Structure 1
């Protein structure tokens, strides 16, 4: 079974790639690196450990366009070692395929990554590495193997009618109904009740929805959700956070810093939003 390092400087895409890799029964472990420096540090440790050492890496799933060194630069550096890990490029750009295969890449996977296409890349890596494999479940990656630990935000897939999927892919709005929002996880679309969302965290052009059961990533800017959900009691407390007013358990003021507790999370309130939030909480307390 494969020991994998996935490298991508876009955190939401890295998390999705790791989820898919960890769901494949042929992958023993999958760790992530969010930049070239961290990736090289991990790979150097693996090379020093040896192919069968505790820090060994069999294959690197590598983005091409990253800040600093590119994925191609990393692959060129690894080519100088006697027994480097295998390389699978995962990129949104088609134009580097020739260079990638000149560098002896195992595969070249285009984004957005489809589970069945990634499963084929894993198969090729297994074949070249000589590691023992288990057959994947029909239709793509299977559930995470026992003992692999929970995947953040992972929930049981819920079948979605074909019509609903078509509406989502056609961009017919993020909400399936006024009380739900469509989310994707591992290529499966499901619907989350907005009432179950405690707070939302900005992650670039994406937003992470936090519920009591886990979290879900959607490609919607936080400002859009702020406008869309204002009438549902969601308030902006920081440039990074949108909170459901009714889910705030505690408001704290300590040495000029204001924070709120939402379940087990403690979130900072920016100065520009502090007064408005206190007024809203006071009105809510007064009925």
Structure 2
């Protein structure tokens, strides 16, 4: 297996030097090239094969996010890993196809993890050509049809797949994702997730809750109104969440007609 050819891009020379040094120390890396802006990066990318680009976000001229948008138009774009001091751009980074998001100051173990994701993505590209595609194992880079949400905890960015989420709870301007890996608080309003996921098998059932339709096991009426039972991933018992009166009919319609239910329909679901 050949080593990775990577490109480091940062407009600040000390930061660029450190990034090159740390990449050079990684066993997975064969060659490291460098650029100080988007123009230089494109020049390098057009002159040689590059497996991955490690990219700052705030740069003069084209920003890192804008450069990523340009690279998305390439027939075989390099994997993109953002390296930045800003936590608040993580969602934007993954929306443009980043495989990882590293916060400065860099830690070598996180850099190694990012390179592992780059390698896994490159390996996955070759599988269809071999005529033996296989499902992506847990922890591998996401399939193009699925979305990931970056979750920051103690300086480490974890990726939570949308298809691992059972329900989402509003917490002010934040949202708490209830997923296979547990509950994760992210800096994304529930309304944003609703607009992004409403055609991906999720439904707003209450001002405070968004549920994954394939994880719904039933509806029932109580003295206080209607509740929806949602099977929490990894849990033996369903969680009951309130459904606002104006959402009941729409939820029932979605449960009947939503084609995405066939992919994750839990065993033994109740009547709806």
TM range (shorter): 0.3 to 0.5
TM-score (norm 2): 0.44
TM-score calculated relative to the size of structure 1: 0.42
Structure number with the bigger relative contact order (C-alpha 8 A, sep ≥ 6) is: 1
